[in-house]
Amino acid sequence: MFKDVIAAKALGDYRLHLRFEDGVEGAVDLAPHLSFRGVFEPLRDPAYFAQVRVDLVLGTVAWPNGADVDPNVLYGRIAGTLIVQEHDVCSAV
């Protein structure tokens, strides 16, 4: 099911608009799933969160400090096909 993210834009309030290689696109709200601990702690700052970019090697979104999110989790959130249990998402992002 792995699909690469090909475009990402921060929308504010810890939301991203993503487009995948198969044309699926939409907004995903990461606020309920980010722990803001460890590598994700800098993302608490909205200005830092807005520095999201597409990592072409990983095929997903990433931030300057190396934080990234599993593209399968993102795809499932947008396409409505969750591939992990809700409690697993927090550890995946």
HSE-up (13 A, CA, CB side) for residue 88: 10
Instruction: Tell me, rounded to whole angstroms, the distance of Cα 9 from its chain centroid.
Output: 10
Q: Which domains does the chain have, with CATH numbers?
A: 5-84 (3.30.2020.10)
pLDDT tens readout for residues 66-91: 999 999 999 999 988 755 544 444 44
The neighbouring-strand residues paired with 9 are 17
Stretches where the chain sits below pLDDT 70 are 1, 82-93
